[in-house]
C-alpha cells in the first residue's frame, strides 16, 4: 500500500512538473493553429505558426527554456544581458519554450526578445536535444554552427555568440 501511494505521488509530481495538465482557454482566445499542432513546431503566444525564416540573413541564438525549470531560470538573466549587448550587431535571440502559453507569456514579460511555444517539444527533439536549457547558434545563412544542452555560463555563451560574427 505504501509503495502504491509513493508511485502515485511521484507520478503526479512528474505530470505536474512537465506541464501536462490542461490549461483552460479564455473566451475568445484562439487555439493554436491545427496545422502547426499536427506537424509540431513553433507557434507565437497567440497560437500562430512561426519559424526562424523571419530572421533570414541574421545570426540567431535559439534557446529552449521551460518556465519553472531551475537551470532555465538561471539562464534567463544571462540571455537578457547578452541580447542587449549583441542587439546593435543584429544578432537575434529567440526562446523556444516548453509549457503552457500562460507560463510562456510570463517568461516573455522578462525577455526582451521573441518567446515561441514549442508544441509538444517537437522542435527540441528534432534538433537533437533531450532536455532544457538547450541552445543552438545559427549562422546568417541558416547553418547550425553549434548546439549545446544544459546551463551555459556567460563566458560559454559569449564564446559561442562571438563565433557567429
d(CA 38, CA 18): 20
In the chain, the percentage of residues whose pLDDT exceeds 70 is: 76
Q: What DSSP state is assigned to residue 112?
A: S
Mean pLDDT of the chain: 82
From the number of C-beta atoms within 10 Å of its C-beta (0-12, 13-18, 19+), residue 10 rates as exposed
pLDDT at 22: 31
Find the mean pLDDT for residues 2-18.
36
pLDDT-wise least confident of 91-95, 96-100, 151-155, 159-163: 96-100
pLDDT grade, residue 41 (50/70/90)?
Answer: confident
**Is-contact 64 42, C-beta < 8 A?**
no
Please count the other Cβ atoms lying within 10 Å of the Cβ belonging to residue 91: 21
Nearest to 140 by CA among 96, 94, 95, 90: 90
Contact 150, 71 (CB under 8 A): yes
Distance between CA atoms of residues 123 and 131, nearest Å: 12
* Packing angle, helices 70-86 and 101-110, rounded to 10: 40
Domains, the chain, ordered by start: 40-162 (3.40.30.10)
0.85 cut: is pTM over it? Answer: no
Amino acid at each position: 500500500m505504501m509503495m502504491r501511494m509513493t508511485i502515485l505521488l511521484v507520478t503526479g509530481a512528474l505530470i505536474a512538473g512537465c506541464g501536462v495538465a490542461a490549461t483552460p482557454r479564455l473566451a475568445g482566445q484562439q487555439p493554436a493553429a491545427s496545422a502547426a499542432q499536427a506537424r509540431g513546431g513553433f507557434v507565437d503566444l497567440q497560437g500562430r505558426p512561426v519559424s526562424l525564416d523571419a530572421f533570414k540573413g541574421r545570426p540567431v541564438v535559439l534557446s529552449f527554456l521551460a518556465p519553472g525549470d531551475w537551470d532555465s531560470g538561471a539562464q534567463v538573466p544571462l540571455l537578457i544581458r547578452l541580447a542587449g549587448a549583441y542587439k546593435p550587431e543584429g544578432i537575434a535571440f529567440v526562446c523556444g519554450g516548453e509549457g503552457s502559453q500562460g507560463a510562456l507569456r510570463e517568461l516573455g514579460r522578462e525577455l526582451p526578445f521573441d518567446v515561441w511555444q514549442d508544441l509538444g517539444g517537437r522542435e527540441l527533439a528534432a534538433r537533437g536535444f533531450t532536455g532544457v536549457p538547450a541552445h543552438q547558434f545559427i549562422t546568417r545563412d541558416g547553418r547550425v554552427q553549434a548546439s549545446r544542452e544544459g546551463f551555459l555560463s556567460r563566458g560559454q555563451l559569449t564564446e559561442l555568440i562571438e563565433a557567429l560574427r
